Amino acid sequence: MALSGLDIQKLLPKTNCKECGSTTCLAFAMKLAGKKAMLSECPYASDDAKRVLGAASEPPVKSVGFGPDRRVKLGEETVLYRHEKTFVNQSLFAVDIGDDRPAAEVDAILAKIRDYTLVRVGLNLVVDMVSVTQRGSEPAKFAALAKKAWEVANRPLVLRSGDPAALALAAEAVKGSGSVLVAATKESSALLRAAAEANGHALALTGATLDEVCALSARLKAEGFDNLVLQFETHSLAEQYQVNSIARRMAIKENYKPLGYPFLRYFESGSLMEDSASAIVEVCKYGGILVLPEFDAAQLVALMALRLNVYTDPQKPIQVEPKVYAIGEPDTKSPVFVTTNFSLTYFIVSGEIENAGTSAWLVIPECEGMSVLTAWAAGKLNGAGVAKAVKESGLDEKSESKTLVIPGYVAQISGEIEENLPGWKILVGPQDAGDIESFVKARLAG
């Protein structure tokens, strides 16, 4: 049962020392009760408090890791809506391969999975897992494909078979890969739990109803195994949306442990559009492992972009490293541009400089990931800071052009930069990055 803030406060030191960042122990207790703080933030919590609150302060959705080092993670979620705090571990995409596919096709798909990288706002997005499904009747062939997929793609696997013995064989063939076995029912759970435990894998549980899945997960946890993911059986988009929402709501709002695990879903309608719609629902509503039936780069781009939007932490703007970037092949005569380290701003400005067909240096001062006007209003983008970043980049000595282009929105800091960067010509660039090309042609050409 979830503890209230008052229950939790009784277990805290009650000294109101503020070291946890809260003004009183009660305020901290209220945060703990709302899953908005961790007990470890109070350095004076007693062993007794840790024991009692340890379980209560666990995230309501269990952390489940995949891969040999368990670094590919799901779970640890504490909120239903991203704006309440943040989502923690994004959905994982897997591409399915059946053991009935010709060897040449298998090789081609595995190579595509291994080599695919979508670069977006400075992040390298990849296919997270490979799914291997037994469709034939030879367990050895299924296990051999699992081994090959692991060796070629080097991703944790989603191993699926209706034959528990075949699944156990494949689990052993990829021992230590930190994969997941799909899926245990109440009849096969003992055998598959043993196979998962012996070989270091997670286990997916399924059942015809939510009640069946809950009974199974509660039983396995009581037996001491909770490296679990849940696979729900649904028959329409609406039902999928409802079941995922109900399950996650029960886990987070009611702290209902049998549903406090990541989810897993296959998309196998035979229609790209229907599968995509279903995958969109999963990304938006708590999907865990999402198994796509084919490698389709267009579908992956769309789903990965959506996932990035849903899982970006609203409290932490995506940032690029503050430093000097070479755009094209700049030399000592090239102009120097400056903008902030908000990823979107950086990528738009660097792209527009490239489009202008010129080479330049782009100096990015530390602006805590804010956009130009916000950074200026917050005092993070000012003349002294820009001059310091230019000096630290080495361009103050290296540059022969000594021409610095600042964003049009912060024309007012040009005087301060001039004072701090003697010998430099400060040009006020356009307000809109889309006008950089015409600015370059008019002011920097020749």
Contact residues toward ligand SF4 (CB under 6 A) are 12-13, 15-20, 22, 25, 28, 42, 44
Q: Which is nearer to ligand SF4, 5 or 408 (CB)?
A: 5
What is the DSSP annotation of 75-97?
A: -----SSGGGS---S--EEEEEE
Q: Which two tokens stand for residue 170?
A: 């494949």
Q: How far is CA 415 from CA 80, 217, 384, 406, 420, in A?
A: 48, 66, 10, 11, 9
Over its C-alpha atoms, the chain yields an Rg (Å, rounded) of: 27
Angstrom distance (rounded) from CA 77 to CA 79:
6
Q: Where are the beta strands (DSSP E) in 21-89?
A: 64-66, 72-74
Q: Which is nearer to ligand SF4, 44 or 411 (CB)?
A: 44
Q: Which is nearer to ligand SF4, 30 or 157 (CB)?
A: 30
CB of 127 to ligand SF4, least distance (A): 43
Q: Which is nearer to ligand SF4, 9 or 382 (CB)?
A: 9
Q: Where are the beta strands (DSSP E) in 157-298?
A: 157-160, 180-184, 202-207, 228-232, 264-266, 289-292
Q: Strand pairing of 336-338 and 403-406?
A: parallel
CB of 43 to ligand SF4, least distance (A): 6
CB of 16 to ligand SF4, least distance (A): 5
CB of 8 to ligand SF4, least distance (A): 9
CB of 81 to ligand SF4, least distance (A): 27
CB of 24 to ligand SF4, least distance (A): 6
Q: Which is nearer to ligand SF4, 16 or 245 (CB)?
A: 16
Q: Of 283, 278, 395, 284, which is closest to residue 331 (Cα–Cα)?
A: 395
CB of 335 to ligand SF4, least distance (A): 52
CB of 443 to ligand SF4, least distance (A): 56
Q: Which two tokens stand for residue 189?
A: 């759970």
Q: Is the peptide bond before 183 cis (omega within 30 degrees of 0)?
A: yes
Say what angle helices 237-253 and 210-222 make with each other, to 10 degrees: 40
Q: How far is CA 186 from CA 62, 135, 163, 353, 440, in A?
A: 21, 22, 14, 61, 68
Q: Which is nearer to ligand SF4, 37 or 173 (CB)?
A: 37
Q: Which is nearer to ligand SF4, 12 or 251 (CB)?
A: 12
Q: Which is nearer to ligand SF4, 27 or 302 (CB)?
A: 27
Q: Of 153, 164, 97, which is closest to residue 126 (Cα–Cα)?
A: 153
Contact call for residues 10 and 46 (beta carbons, < 8 A) = no
